[in-house]
Structure 1
Amino acid sequence: MTMAPHMAQHEAPHTEAQGSAPARPGEPRDRSRARRGKRLVGVDAARGLALVGMVAVHTLPVYDAEAQRATLSWSLFSGHASALFALLAGVGLAFGSGGPAPRTGRALTAARCATAVRALLLGLVGLSLSLLPLPVANILPYYATLFLLALPFLGLRIRHLLTAAAAAMLLTPFLMQLALDVLPPDVHGNPSLRTLAAHPEAVLPQLLLTGTYPALPWLAFLLTGLAIGRMDLREVEVQVRLMLSGAGLAVLGWGASALALGPLGGYDAIAAATPQYGTDRIDEVIVYGPDPELPTTTLWWLTVPGPHTNTPFAIALSLGVAVAALGLFLLLTRAPALAAVLRPLTAAGAMTFTLYTAHLVFMAQRLHTGAPVAWFWTQIATALVLALLWRGLFGQGPLERAVATASRAAGRAVIGRGPAAARADGA
């Protein structure tokens, strides 16, 4: 793998239940049912883009030696692709827990049980994959932790979810940074079943606070997605607002970081507090992210916007990009012609858990190092063709189907039989 100094390649994906928008007042019953039952392909298309971005970050070179800067693929996707996956995971959780009207009572308990089972299966697959010699960061164990942390929030409405997401974005990075000198050091590489059994006291803090995708700061992505999934995503006004507000948040995150590092003196404070780095190394962190974590010499480090620095500014930037991308794809797929063009991407986005798992298995073979560009396009073409064929012949991807079957069974065990169980199965 081609890498810049002090850099590690990251990124990562998802399983979800698609949901429905509420019927409009006065809408005929049969038309309302058809509208609710139609899958939001824009969500799948956005997730397909995130998969492409993840494969690009894992496979393509990070550094352009000729231009002496980061490659375009790194600048576009690093940190943003995995943030988009986490955002869309929240959207899926909203679909599976009542959509615009959060479930209550036993139905909410059933949704939480189903989500917990989904998280455990994701974690089992992720920790098992990490037994392979992966040359990249595996998001699945962190993803599973995020799902478990989301359980108390499944019954909340949009305002409270956005408030909690803002708190996660603004406050937990400080907790993360303060914890680095207190908590046990991370286990080497990706958390696996072996390291979890041998060093649980190190793996759990890594999943929550000190790893590549720390679940507590990354709640900002998941909870924002959960709030977005409570909206009527079929309405064009909602889609436009998502695209514009996301773009605004990304600009705000980047601009505020530039202001803090420049006129407010953050860059100079970092250089003074971390003399062993030098300006070149500080610039690397800003562009490429930490290796493996930010220094704790000064809290001014929390003003950098680099990928996977997990600072408030980096989270705001990646969150804004993710929200804008979702709004854009929801708008694009309104046009039948564009939806048809995006169909391969949509098919891949509907089975990213399976495709991401296959991608990690491929990466463990380290075949891509000799010809990264060729292997990138080989993986993308294979994923798109396989997804189209599989979706046409069998529907859900194999891992998606297994997780959905187990989580639905957990939900039914809580709900029991009757109309409530049928509604839960439908979601």
Structure 2
Amino acid sequence: MTATRGPAVQRRLAGVDAARGLALLGMMATHIVPLSQPAAGGALADASLASVEPTWAALLFAGKASALFAILAGVGLALLTGGPHPHAAARLSATRRGVAVRALVIAGIGFASGMLDTHVAVILTHYGLLFVLAIPFLGLPARRLAWWAGGWLLVSPALWWAAHPVVAALVRPADVGGSPQFADLARPATLAADLLVTGYYPVLVWTGFILLGLTLGRLDLARPRVVLGLLLGGGALALAARSASDALVALPQAAAALRGATGTDGEGLRLALSTGQGLGGSEGTAWWFALSAPHSGAPLDLLHVSGTAAAVLGACLLLAAALRAVLGDAGEPVLWPLAGAGAATLTLYTAHLVALDLLSGPTAQLPRHELYLWFCAGAVLAGIGLKWAGTRGPLESLVHAAAASVASGAAAARDRR
């Protein structure tokens, strides 16, 4: 990752990579650990959902980890294009070409990963499209980006709510059944509907996350006041959005409408609001706008996860700064378990999908929490190894080489004119 002010950006990156590492481990948790479990004294065989409760993976990471992943992609693009000082037009033009190539390669990896038997909704193809949509915004300063991000996060849920039933009726099937793969290129209408509106990560809504990340990356993240503002402001926003949602959903008319739309009883709705599972049909009532449930895409959900992401980024940057202040140059290696994995998220995210496919049989009887710890250990050790070797992950090297080749070619052509 390049930037205009090397030392300052390098100091920031330790905290940004640590946040990426948390996002990676969080997504792995939601892919491996069940999102619900028997309550104390209950059993899954019990037909009553009163005996089931959300797991720690659902409460900590469901909906939040993947949003953090997308928001940090925007932060990375902002740092790539100058951080607080966006690149001038000539240099920015070459960088934009490089970002377009990054998007193409990442989407290709996403299509390939979608062919694996993992039961995971792979985000990478949507991620690539988000990169493409971010290209026109790469030259904007923080203030203008903030208006775009705020407006998108507030308006896009209403657009999605209006468009979803229309798109689902016009395009049959309206989604690709979980994760896009190369075969879906043969049915472009379904693929476009899934990527933009009807899929697990509707880009119509998720563009707000990458715009928010661009906004955050345009701030001077080396300033303690800015970073503390992210932590406190993000935490306050997350708490306010969740509290508002809880108050609205607790209204008798809201609960009744949501139960009717989703076909759940009271306990089933409670579980769905914590895990994000079982809320299908909730968009059929206007009370959907009151939700902050994971992956609901409602306005309060977007504000909640956005605030959470800002707070996590602020906390990681403050931790990196504190370690540097106390330990000097020895402080950065303390973050390697998270920052190392965070610097190779594309490689490790893809590797964990391959492992879930290849090891599904041998690990079938292994407790899911234990399996998750093994996956975490593998990701952390791989990240530390890459940090120690001073090298990128294999897929990061591939993406960087492809993007740098196009960007340098564009710069050379500009210089010849």
Change (3 A) 1:36 1:282: closer
Per the alignment, residue 345 of structure 2 pairs with: 352
- Number of residues of Structure 1 aligned to a counterpart in Structure 2: 391
Deviation at 1:200, TM superposition (A): 1.1
Q: Could you tell me whether the CA contact under 8 Å between 1:294 and 1:301 is conserved in 2? A: no
Deviation at 1:284, TM superposition (A): 3.4
Per the alignment, residue 225 of structure 2 pairs with: 237
Matches within 5 A, 1:403-422: 403-416=399-412
Per the alignment, residue 47 of structure 1 pairs with: 20
Compute the TM-score of the two structures, normalised by the length of structure 1.
0.86
Q: Give CA-to-partner distance per residue, 1:42-79, whole Å, 9 cap, x none.
A: 00111111111111111112212033310112210111
Among candidates 154, 162, 166, match of residue 170 of structure 1: 154
SS in 2 for 1:416: helix
Paired residue type of 2:342: G
Per the alignment, residue 262 of structure 1 pairs with: 250
Q: Could you tell me whether the CA contact under 8 Å between 1:18 and 1:92 is conserved in 2? A: no
Q: Give CA-to-partner distance per residue, 1:359-405, whole Å, 9 cap, x none.
A: 01111232444221221111111111122112322511111011011
User: How far apart, CA to CA, are the structure 2 residues paired with 1:293 and 1:409?
Assistant: 44
User: How far apart, CA to CA, are the structure 2 residues paired with 1:143 and 1:81?
Assistant: 14
**1:151 aligns to 2:135 (yes or no):** yes
Per the alignment, residue 375 of structure 1 pairs with: 371
Matches within 5 A, 1:8-157: 17=1, 19=3, 34-36=7-9, 38=11, 40-67=13-40, 68-157=52-141
Compute the TM-score of the two structures, normalised by the length of structure 2.
0.88
**1:362 aligns to 2:355 (yes or no):** yes
Q: Give CA-to-partner distance per residue, 1:110-134, whole Å, 9 cap, x none.
A: 1211111000000000001111112
Which range moved further: 279-288 or 68-77? 279-288
Q: Give CA-to-partner distance per residue, 1:167-221, whole Å, 9 cap, x none.
A: 2211111222222221122122211111122x21011121112211111211222
Which range moved further: 361-370 or 79-88? 361-370
Q: Where do 4+ consecutive residues of structure 1 move more than 4 Å?
A: 36-39, 290-294, 417-420
User: How far apart, CA to CA, are the structure 2 residues paired with 1:172 and 1:404?
Assistant: 32
User: How far apart, CA to CA, are the structure 2 residues paired with 1:275 and 1:136?
Assistant: 23
Change (3 A) 1:419 1:330: farther
Change (3 A) 1:232 1:98: same
Deviation at 1:413, TM superposition (A): 2.1
User: How far apart, CA to CA, are the structure 2 residues paired with 1:303 and 1:418?
Assistant: 51
Q: Could you tell me whether the CA contact under 8 Å between 2:73 and 2:210 is conserved in 1? A: yes
Deviation at 1:138, TM superposition (A): 0.4
Q: Could you tell me whether the CA contact under 8 Å between 2:336 and 2:387 is conserved in 1? A: no
SS in 1 for 2:165: coil
Q: Could you tell me whether the CA contact under 8 Å between 1:293 and 1:309 is conserved in 2? A: no
User: How far apart, CA to CA, are the structure 2 residues paired with 1:299 and 1:160?
Assistant: 31
Q: Could you tell me whether the CA contact under 8 Å between 1:120 and 1:144 is conserved in 2? A: yes
Paired residue type of 2:383: A
SS in 1 for 2:200: coil
Q: Could you tell me whether the CA contact under 8 Å between 2:12 and 2:317 is conserved in 1? A: no
User: How far apart, CA to CA, are the structure 2 residues paired with 1:348 and 1:130?
Assistant: 22
The CA RMSD measured in Å over matched residues stands at 2.2
Q: Structure 2 unaligned runs (5+)?
A: 41-51
Q: Structure 1 unaligned runs (5+)?
A: 1-16, 22-32, 421-427
Deviation at 1:136, TM superposition (A): 1.0
User: How far apart, CA to CA, are the structure 2 residues paired with 1:200 and 1:345?
Assistant: 38
Which range moved further: 367-376 or 312-321? 367-376
Q: Percent identity?
A: 36
Paired residue type of 1:54: M
Paired residue type of 2:391: G
Per the alignment, residue 297 of structure 1 pairs with: 284
Matches within 5 A, 1:179-194: 179-183=163-167, 184=171, 185-194=174-183
Paired residue type of 1:382: G
SS in 2 for 1:40: helix
